[in-house]
Structure 1
């Protein structure tokens, strides 16, 4: 067999199965669509599970794909071994009730032995131990030598996940030779060594498992085939691991070029090179599919991968941002199969660079925090809790913590750190178990016998329809009566179903005395519309013919706000730059909430420019034109697509002159003038690199203006200002007066508190070499306590003072330690921390002066009572 590049292998596989009547589909997005059971796509079949279950009709009964996948359960192992990776591609050929074992096995063997010309004597086949049918096909039809056949048990060769389609599987192994084996006489297929590599897995989905171990033969069995592209490339290129495959190796070489570290020269540095190589592949593809860094869900996975890669860059001695520079190589190595990466290169690069630079600040903050802990606590051993917090919260690696502290003669409680890390991993595992991670899980009622709903609501808001199905409490029923609620399926509907960020329509259904309120509209993955209904009068039955009528006023407001979202995105791109992309939206009848990619808060000037530009387009009375057209034609028009979204051959394009041209399936105004006015209510951050604008149009703007006017009049009345034009001047005078009075009150309180310093020493005596004062001060604040402690520290070297005050239910503690008391071992930072913890708080500071806060005022006396004991403990130590 000849050495074959990864990109060539992918194309050979897909072309081969196209020649066998398969429809080649592009890789689905890494972000699951209409599927809450997975965080990210993790297998070739995952995005097509509803084809297998029958919930959605596949575009053809034979399909072949190369699917992008992300798996992160073993993220800690990535880099440590050369086998583990978070990003990989799965080659697959699938039969949805079409061909079965005979064809699937024959084509797999043909591809390996004829197309790739793998030596037959190097190939071994495993089957489920009871699958005699497969054994007979492999040996008698395909011609595999019985000595190259292996029967394995259910754990290895029977594919099932709880209930649903399942069946035996058959795997093809490649023998890499004795030199890769373990040397044991019984080394064979299934051995843990590196000799026999499982390359191809054919799942014969021929049973339905009811979840209780009962298997019913499927009327139309399926084929689900999976083969890791990188693993196949390892075999064809004669290399030991995925990091030596041509495209992956080229990415690593770029990293080596930047960092000056070569692979194979140092084991520890090799780990870092592998981590960076894997993670930059994953993150480039994730961002390309619309995932953005955040602190939860998919965004957290992305952030964790980026920060782990950046951290390993530092371990290689490279402290500057560099991952964004590697993107070009990742894209170059993959653009033949994924051209969208090149289209989004600027955006991907910018996201990675911003996240890298943010992490640099975070890790620098970690340095300061670490040194702060050392200075405040005067420690000889850093606690496992502090080390874990630095690692978990600030991404500060334990190895770096140990290295820095070792230079100062300080140890780290590594055992406790690893205990906490283990507990965190267990929590993560438990959380993953709670999440639905089985790609076969289905959360919808079976509507496979119902055809896709005909939607006529772009042009018709009142239409005759027929009830095809009624769902009550998740079960299909024949009828529902007065005051009952149910999901109703019609043959055709004018109600827009929630999608693309636009809420579903509401309205009514009528037929004679039957009156039904439609409270919401959604749709399932197969395009069946589900109307959430309440029966107001009469009985609704399957087969009922009725009028379906959309709430026109509400729909009109929704259309105004959705059209405004298009104008807003175009205006943002013009004012801020072309890096702006939609990152999410919510369009309702009240407002539009638009999330977009940008890396800093908008200035007042920028917001005004955006708002003015949108209003300018509204006043220009521009027609809003909607057309369906081939996707290639739409791209030539420069139509913007939703990030990470996959579109069919024909798309719906909404054009507002040349100002805005977007792919969109939502409903829109016919002319910008009908929006009336556009007003931005607020702008803020929702995640790193993602901003949010909330805006209103039409009636919403009028309501907003009336509310503002009413508020102004109420303020004028309260402030006894008769003329609204004088409101600003009057408010400024009152604000100045209040500020001056508050300042005067604060100064008086500070003076009053300071006058109490002398009283502090009354009834205090020097015991065990120090004078201890612990007291609550009335009518004081944090500034007053600090001033009193500073004064006593300076005038009484043997004094140890802890003062407390309460303001609005919050407790403040201040502690000071005179220089002579400090010499005896007393530490104000540790003292105030212990006192505050006794009152439900925390804090700390320097050995001579420290502050803390607490939540429980009722425990102030109890907290002050431990001062003496704590101080004496320090002196003895």
Structure 2
């Protein structure tokens, strides 16, 4: 079996042999983009290189970038544990060209690595191109020998990338792996594309235009390449599994969680073990990169992640703090590739222990109150937003944990009612503030911008 560590090493080695500079992962806290909560894609550390604001001593690069997504359009936090491919922390493998090579070499590299270096069956690969990108269509025919019906033209923005309203932009070409007809779902662009059969494993972005404020596009003098491949997805392919959580790294973390809780990996405990494994990774790497639990900003996102995992540890029957005891398993799996985990291990363990010790008191009180609130509710009923807000405001029980607990119990929640109560509280707090030296505390809640 090809391990995740082997895949990372193989990817970096291949592109280094092909003349790319090997660039270490940047920290999860972006230093060049104040609009971004965390680094959430492999190209983020190179953003200023692509825009021409920064120069580097190389024109091609390869990296395995740590990424965190915990909200926004991806909604990764709430889906973690319940799907095969949602994560808050993931690694993005990528190769980049800053005005050096363009489409032909990018496609050649991708096809060579996947089918020759890694031995993936070409018959199980399908690609998409932007509907007007005849050049990419022809290159896939020429380089990969793909038939027309496996080069799918897509007219939506799924296959056109832009950095923002203005700046570099261009068409994309995505590579999909077919997991087999025993899994529901159709190819990209079909009515059944949201099924799990065809899974995107690599996205090639061809930066070839500059977009002006009025929407007009002009060709870039030096077109560039930005690619991204989630290591968790390609590990599933190369290890012969369909679910990212069945790959070696996650299996090891889940096994540690099972051993410490005396529960099985499947059945009723399945989602909880997956939440714990995923959130352990994001918590560990965020602390290693200098983020600590707090009541606002990045620290609040980390606190939400930690406490969601801790609630699932409680579900599994953990009577004492659990998360800090799983850190050695995380370091054993990923410390060789990311030595910052090894250096920060004592801090990660101490931070998790302190946070879980504090949270267990809040959790036990909140769950008791929630049980009382749902005692008379029918199956499938919705908890009022006012009640959810009372749990949050009076007892310190976070909304997302209320939502998670209700979901597990087969109940819904009135999000609009909660938001209305939150807005009213903020309005009242601002009205009551007399300027006594501290601004009224509007705790960062759910709408944390990425």
Normalised to the residue count of structure 2, the TM-score between the two structures is 0.84
How far the C-alpha of 1:429 sits from its partner, in A, is: 9.8
**1:56 aligns to what?**
54
Contact 2:254–2:273 under 8 Å retained in 1? yes
Deviations 1:807-832 (A, max 9, x none): xxxxxxxxxxxxxxxxxxxxxxxxxx
Deviates more, 1:143-152 or 1:126-135: 143-152
Deviations 1:470-498 (A, max 9, x none): xxxxxxxxxxxxxxxxxxxxxxxxxxxxx
**2:352 aligns to what?**
352
Distance 1:418 1:119 in 2: 46
**2:171 aligns to what?**
168
| Cα gap change, 1:416 to 1:85, in 2 (>3 Å) | closer
| Cα gap change, 1:67 to 1:424, in 2 (>3 Å) | farther
Distance 2:363 2:144 in 1: 59
**1:123 is aligned to 2:93:** no
**2:289 aligns to what?**
289
**2:155 aligns to what?**
153
Which structure 2 residues correspond to residues 328-477 of structure 1 after superposition, within 5 A? Answer: 328-364=328-364, 366=366, 385-391=386-392, 394-395=396-397, 397-398=401-402, 418-421=415-418, 431-432=447-448, 437=450
How far the C-alpha of 1:80 sits from its partner, in A, is: 2.4
How far the C-alpha of 1:338 sits from its partner, in A, is: 0.4
Structure 1 residue matching 2:267: 3-state secondary structure: coil
Distance 2:295 2:289 in 1: 18
**1:247 aligns to what?**
249
- Which residue of the other structure, out of 225, 233, 236, is the alignment partner of 2:227? 225
- Which residue of the other structure, out of 2, 5, 21, is the alignment partner of 1:4? 2
- Which residue of the other structure, out of 25, 28, 32, is the alignment partner of 1:30? 28
| Cα gap change, 1:139 to 1:284, in 2 (>3 Å) | same
| Cα gap change, 1:16 to 1:400, in 2 (>3 Å) | closer
Indicate the structure with greater helix content.
2
Deviations 1:83-118 (A, max 9, x none): 211110000000011110111000111001110011
| Cα gap change, 1:335 to 1:401, in 2 (>3 Å) | closer
**1:177 aligns to what?**
180
Deviations 1:400-445 (A, max 9, x none): 999xxx9xxxxxxx7775543465899989955xx5x5xxxxxxxx
How far the C-alpha of 1:369 sits from its partner, in A, is: 7.6
Distance 2:343 2:412 in 1: 48
**1:234 is aligned to 2:236:** yes
**1:672 aligns to what?**
none
| Cα gap change, 1:271 to 1:37, in 2 (>3 Å) | same
Q: Compare CA radii of gyration and give the structure with the larger one.
A: 1
**2:145 aligns to what?**
143
**1:88 aligns to what?**
90
**1:603 aligns to what?**
none
Deviations 1:170-218 (A, max 9, x none): 1111111111234xxxx33342212211111100000001132200100
**1:202 aligns to what?**
204
Contact 2:388–2:418 under 8 Å retained in 1? no
Distance 2:266 2:319 in 1: 22
Distance 2:414 2:366 in 1: 16
Deviations 1:719-749 (A, max 9, x none): xxxxxxxxxxxxxxxxxxxxxxxxxxxxxxx
Contact 1:4–1:236 under 8 Å retained in 2? yes
Which structure 2 residues correspond to residues 756-767 of structure 1 after superposition, within 5 A? Answer: none
**2:41 aligns to what?**
43
Distance 1:227 1:270 in 2: 26
Deviations 1:112-169 (A, max 9, x none): 1110011111111211111111111111244323332111113221112321100011
| Cα gap change, 1:368 to 1:274, in 2 (>3 Å) | closer
**1:262 is aligned to 2:264:** yes
**1:15 aligns to what?**
13
Contact 2:32–2:45 under 8 Å retained in 1? no
| Cα gap change, 1:429 to 1:61, in 2 (>3 Å) | farther
Which structure 2 residues correspond to residues 377-776 of structure 1 after superposition, within 5 A? Answer: 385-391=386-392, 394-395=396-397, 397-398=401-402, 418-421=415-418, 431-432=447-448, 437=450
Contact 1:385–1:416 under 8 Å retained in 2? no
Distance 1:370 1:197 in 2: 38
Contact 2:386–2:418 under 8 Å retained in 1? no
Deviations 1:770-798 (A, max 9, x none): xxxxxxxxxxxxxxxxxxxxxxxxxxxxx
| Cα gap change, 1:380 to 1:329, in 2 (>3 Å) | closer
Structure 1 residue matching 2:110: 3-state secondary structure: helix
How far the C-alpha of 1:334 sits from its partner, in A, is: 0.3
**2:188 aligns to what?**
189
How far the C-alpha of 1:58 sits from its partner, in A, is: 2.0
Contact 2:389–2:422 under 8 Å retained in 1? no
Contact 2:403–2:413 under 8 Å retained in 1? no
| Cα gap change, 1:365 to 1:116, in 2 (>3 Å) | same
| Cα gap change, 1:151 to 1:323, in 2 (>3 Å) | same
Structure 1 residue matching 2:28: 3-state secondary structure: coil
Unpaired stretches in structure 1, ≥5 consecutive residues: 407-413, 438-877
Indicate the structure with greater strand content.
1
Structure 1 residue matching 2:299: 3-state secondary structure: helix
Structure 1 residue matching 2:40: 3-state secondary structure: coil
| Cα gap change, 1:295 to 1:239, in 2 (>3 Å) | same
| Cα gap change, 1:399 to 1:204, in 2 (>3 Å) | closer
Deviates more, 1:134-143 or 1:388-397: 388-397
Equivalenced residues, count: 411
RMSD: 2.9
| Cα gap change, 1:425 to 1:240, in 2 (>3 Å) | farther
Unpaired stretches in structure 2, ≥5 consecutive residues: 378-382, 427-443
How far the C-alpha of 1:49 sits from its partner, in A, is: 0.4
Distance 1:260 1:325 in 2: 14
How far the C-alpha of 1:224 sits from its partner, in A, is: 0.3
- Which residue of the other structure, out of 68, 80, 105, is the alignment partner of 2:107? 105
Deviations 1:510-545 (A, max 9, x none): xxxxxxxxxxxxxxxxxxxxxxxxxxxxxxxxxxxx
Ranked by relative contact order (alpha carbons within 8 Å, sequence separation 6 or more), the top structure is 2
| Cα gap change, 1:131 to 1:358, in 2 (>3 Å) | same
| Cα gap change, 1:351 to 1:132, in 2 (>3 Å) | same
Distance 1:330 1:138 in 2: 39
Distance 2:250 2:421 in 1: 32
Distance 2:221 2:446 in 1: 37
Normalised to the residue count of structure 1, the TM-score between the two structures is 0.44
Structure 1 residue matching 2:225: 3-state secondary structure: strand
| Cα gap change, 1:116 to 1:419, in 2 (>3 Å) | same
Distance 2:351 2:304 in 1: 14
Contact 1:331–1:342 under 8 Å retained in 2? yes
Structure 1 residue matching 2:245: 3-state secondary structure: helix
How far the C-alpha of 1:63 sits from its partner, in A, is: 0.6
**1:565 aligns to what?**
none
